[in-house]
Chains A and B, each alone.
Chain A
Amino acid sequence: MLSVKNLHASVDGKEILKGIDLEVKAGEVHAIMGPNGSGKSTLASVLAGNEKFTVTAGSAEFLGRDLLSMPIEERARLGLFLGFQYPVEIPGVTMANFMKLAVNEHRKYRGEEPLTAGQFLKLMREKSAVVELDSKLTSRAVNEGFSGGEKKKNEIFQMAMLDPKLAILDETDSGLDIDALRIVATGVTRLHTPQNATVVITHYQRLLDYIVPDYVHVLYKGRIIHSGDKTLALKLEKEGYDWLINDYREE
């Protein structure tokens, strides 16, 4: 589904990603971990197409298409979803209105008719239940005045609405209390199917108690320095990154 090869990217002339290789297949869950500043969020942003970053080398294929040459919105419509670490506020635009536009743009791209108001409301009711999102929030402005937990739930709600092929969730667990974490993580798990894939970026093993990864990657200084299965996350939780980083330094 996603095939990233030797991806290099920089911001303001400073290289952040220094050769990322990543293969994600349908049905898989990948976790990307690593110390602060290692380039995890940058990787997510670059794959989504954020123009702050410049791709300097490498390639990325998504569903057989050249991801890096596509505009941001086309990547999204093709089925790439980014759950934002810091969801953005859009004053005056209701969540419902925002999602209606987004859902219908996705449908148009697939050659489907736009949803009627009734169909849309039904879909919204259904999907807000996935993350126990207070239905009142959908009539409020996008992320405006939402609590930290609500914002993150709202990201997963949007993921549910848009039904992506590949969801990249950037620290969706940060700033969540225990209950909100359970709700958000359970929501993500419920959305997972053999046809789609999820990449979760996280600092903590606790998220992976709910979202069990098939692969765990450690990103350090712009490279994936180690990959393993779910037991790697447990080991990192216990021992930290030092043993890996030290290893890496010796190389």
Chain B
Amino acid sequence: MEQIGGREYKYGFTTEIETETIPKGLSEEVVRLISAKKGEPEWMTERRLKAYRHWLTLEPPTWAHLTIPEIDFQDIIYYAAPRPPKKLGSMDEVDPELKRTFEKLGIPLEEQMALAGVAVDAVMDSVSVKTTFKETLAEKGIVFCSMAEAIRDYPELIRKYLGSVVPHTDNFYAALNAAVFSDGSFCYIPKGVRCPMELSTYFRINAAGTGQFERTLIVADEGAYVSYLEGCTAPQRDENQLHAAVVEIVVERDAEVKYSTVQNWYPGDREGRGGVYNFVTKRGLCRENARLSWTQVETGSAITWKYPSCILAGDNSVGEFYSVAMTNNFQQADTGTKMIHVGRNTRSRIVSKGISAGSSQNSYRGLVRVAKAAEHARNYSQCDSLLIGDRCGAHTFPVIDVRNRTAVVEHEATTSKISEDQLFYCNQRGLTTEDAVGLIVNGYAREVLAKLPMEFAVEAQKLLALQLEGSVG
């Protein structure tokens, strides 16, 4: 059960595209420059500056079970845009080099997308290059566009909702993101509308040394429904890359949002050099009878710091968190969720499956809070850890804070290893050890993978197996 190694990162290549960047470092001037480059209105610039000034008063959080090298925030480029940034009407206008990158990544940006029924807002570095299916969505009144467009075209929605769930005062990285966010996606589903297709965004860090600060805002108005997919890969590179995204979701009364992520940023090499630092703040607010479901498959990044959470403000609202977090080699992950029960009869469910291999460290951190007024709140949490080899670590930090006596809160946890007997059994049926490990791990993660949309689930399964190749000998 030794020989930790793993196949080289499959998506490790960079694209030769002219990139427009600004000098390294962060200051009020840089914040203004970013805002100006994006042609933002004054109120947006002011918001960014307010966030920046607040950020100056904060220190990076240190409470996670992570060893984070000191990050020099003045050594980061805060803005990069692929040229030309002008609006593109059709695929023919897209840089052929960029198109090839998307093809290598297997992003079905072209005709096959129509067949797959997926609208992709492909983010190459910071500026959205192309948004498709917008017209189909527009017929239903659905808005799905880049954050930059949203600020320009839907200022009233942005002013109302942006920062309403994750304010810039929330934490160090949320403040940083609010100050310098480059682009991202905005999605608005009007009252009573069921989004007819899965909405999908692929992110990709590309320009060397460019931090990526995505900002995503999803608003499902009363009775609306949307399933949103986020997937990302990043090119291989030695220097560390900072990624501090914010995702905010507003789920109004009777609405439902499913948010699925497959995270496959460059994890660093076998010796732990390089890799993306992924500090993400994701949170959703549920009004009455609303339902929010987070599903994540986390396999990438050198460091993951991420807690997709639900504030169950409305009565009878439901929050769900399904997670598979896999770490190999020298990866570190500290991930989990917060379920904040405020409304009456609110329910939440947490299923977390950690997989640790190599010399990696994998932590589940969760908070279940039942506020005083949350009569008859219910939570069920299940946290499982699977260890591969004997040099990795799995940790759980569940916090349960109940202030109402009618609450029912359950927590179950298991830790297991892939046994020699299981491997021998699979080998004896003709499977290689690598295939066997992939199979066992996928079986272990099945409950979570089953929550992903079909095509995504297949991709995630492959990713889990790929990420573990060579980890068991």
Contact = CB atoms under 8 A, between A and B. Distances in A.
Interface of A: 48-52, 71-73, 76-77, 81-82, 84, 87-93, 97-98, 101-102, 105-106, 109, 141-142, 158, 162
Nearest to B446: A92
A73 B444 contact: no
Interface string B396-436: 00000000000000000000000111101111111111010
Given A81-B428, A84-B425, A101-B439, 12 more contacts: A48-B424, A51-B420, A71-B427, A76-B427, A88-B422, A90-B439, A90-B440, A90-B443, A92-B442, A92-B446, A101-B431, A142-B443
A204 B430 CA distance: 30
Interface residues of B, number: 23
Given A90-B443, A92-B443, A101-B439, A158 B426 contact: no
B432 A87 contact: no
Contacts of A97: 439
B445 interface: yes
A106 B428 CA distance: 11
Contact of B424 (A50, A93, A98, A142): A50
Interface string B95-112: 000000000000000000
Which secondary structure characterizes the binding site on chain B? helix
9 contacts: A51-B420, A73-B427, A77-B430, A88-B421, A88-B425, A89-B422, A90-B439, A93-B439, A93-B443
A102 B444 contact: no
Given A88-B422, A90-B425, A98 B439 contact: yes
Contact of B429 (A51, A98, A109): A98
A77 B428 CA distance: 9
Given A92-B445, A93-B439, A98-B439, A105 B425 contact: no
B198 interface: no
A103 to B, nearest CB: 8
Most chain A beta-carbon contacts within 10 A, residue among B425, B429, B440, B445: B429
B138 to A, nearest CB: 39
B447 interface: yes
B440 A105 contact: no
B443 A91 contact: yes
B268 to A, nearest CB: 29
B294 to A, nearest CB: 21
B472 to A, nearest CB: 12
B436 to A, nearest CB: 9
Nearest to B435: A101
A68 to B, nearest CB: 15
B175 to A, nearest CB: 40
A216 to B, nearest CB: 25
A90 B422 contact: yes
Contact of B428 (A76, A90, A93): A76
Contacts of B420: 51-52
A142 B428 CA distance: 14
B335 to A, nearest CB: 21
B84 to A, nearest CB: 46
B431 A105 contact: yes
A101 to B, nearest CB: 6
A91 B429 contact: no
B392 to A, nearest CB: 20
A82 B428 contact: yes
B424 A72 contact: yes
A96 to B, nearest CB: 13
Contact of A102 (B431, B442, B445, B447): B431
A127 B430 CA distance: 18
A73 B428 CA distance: 6
